[in-house]
Amino acid sequence: MAEGRARNAAKSCDDCFFRRRSLCALGLDSPCPTFRPDTPDGLVPPRQPALLMRDSAEPAAQAVAHAA
Protein backbone atom coordinates (compact mmCIF):
# COMPACT_ATOMS: atom_id res chain seq x y z
CA MET A 1 0.00 0.00 0.00
CA ALA A 2 2.84 2.40 0.80
CA GLU A 3 4.28 1.71 -2.66
CA GLY A 4 1.05 2.99 -4.28
CA ARG A 5 1.19 6.15 -2.18
CA ALA A 6 4.80 6.73 -3.20
CA ARG A 7 3.86 6.50 -6.88
CA ASN A 8 0.97 8.93 -6.37
CA ALA A 9 3.19 11.40 -4.54
CA ALA A 10 5.63 11.44 -7.46
CA LYS A 11 2.87 12.43 -9.91
CA SER A 12 2.34 16.04 -10.81
CA CYS A 13 -0.25 17.74 -12.99
CA ASP A 14 2.68 19.15 -14.94
CA ASP A 15 3.57 15.57 -15.96
CA CYS A 16 0.06 14.80 -17.22
CA PHE A 17 -0.63 14.14 -20.91
CA PHE A 18 -3.81 16.21 -20.80
CA ARG A 19 -2.28 19.19 -18.98
CA ARG A 20 0.70 19.41 -21.34
CA ARG A 21 -1.60 19.50 -24.36
CA SER A 22 -4.00 22.04 -22.79
CA LEU A 23 -6.77 19.42 -22.68
CA CYS A 24 -7.28 19.51 -18.91
CA ALA A 25 -10.44 21.30 -17.79
CA LEU A 26 -9.79 20.84 -14.07
CA GLY A 27 -8.18 23.38 -11.77
CA LEU A 28 -6.85 20.98 -9.17
CA ASP A 29 -3.64 21.17 -7.16
CA SER A 30 -3.06 17.43 -7.31
CA PRO A 31 -3.37 14.81 -10.07
CA CYS A 32 -6.90 13.61 -10.72
CA PRO A 33 -8.05 10.01 -11.33
CA THR A 34 -7.69 10.50 -15.10
CA PHE A 35 -3.98 11.33 -14.81
CA ARG A 36 -1.96 9.78 -17.63
CA PRO A 37 1.79 10.33 -17.82
CA ASP A 38 2.99 12.21 -20.87
CA THR A 39 5.32 9.82 -22.67
CA PRO A 40 7.10 9.94 -26.02
CA ASP A 41 4.67 7.20 -27.14
CA GLY A 42 1.71 9.50 -26.50
CA LEU A 43 -1.35 8.55 -24.52
CA VAL A 44 -0.93 5.08 -23.00
CA PRO A 45 -3.93 3.34 -21.41
CA PRO A 46 -3.63 2.31 -17.76
CA ARG A 47 -2.66 -1.27 -16.98
CA GLN A 48 -5.61 -3.57 -16.51
CA PRO A 49 -5.70 -6.40 -13.96
CA ALA A 50 -5.16 -9.87 -15.36
CA LEU A 51 -8.25 -11.97 -15.90
CA LEU A 52 -8.11 -15.26 -14.04
CA MET A 53 -9.90 -18.26 -15.43
CA ARG A 54 -11.76 -20.57 -13.07
CA ASP A 55 -10.72 -24.23 -12.98
CA SER A 56 -14.28 -25.45 -13.55
CA ALA A 57 -17.81 -24.12 -13.90
CA GLU A 58 -19.04 -26.28 -11.00
CA PRO A 59 -18.94 -23.56 -8.28
CA ALA A 60 -20.93 -21.20 -10.52
CA ALA A 61 -23.51 -23.90 -11.27
CA GLN A 62 -23.92 -24.58 -7.54
CA ALA A 63 -24.49 -20.89 -6.86
CA VAL A 64 -27.26 -20.77 -9.46
CA ALA A 65 -28.85 -23.92 -7.99
CA HIS A 66 -28.86 -22.42 -4.49
CA ALA A 67 -30.40 -19.17 -5.71
CA ALA A 68 -33.36 -20.94 -7.32
Nearest C-alpha neighbor of 11 from the set 41, 46, 61, 62: 46
In the chain, the amino acid numbered 14 is D
Q: Confidence band (pLDDT; 50, 70, 90) for 66?
A: low
List the chain domain ranges. Answer: 1-39
Express each pLDDT in 2-49 by its tens digit: 444 455 557 888 889 999 999 988 888 788 888 889 989 888 887 889
The predicted structure's pLDDT at residue 30: 84
Q: Determine the pLDDT at residue 34.
A: 86
Sign of CA dihedral 54, 57, 63, 68: positive
Distance of alpha carbon 66 from alpha carbon 6, whole angstroms: 45
pLDDT interval class at 1 (50, 70, 90):
very low
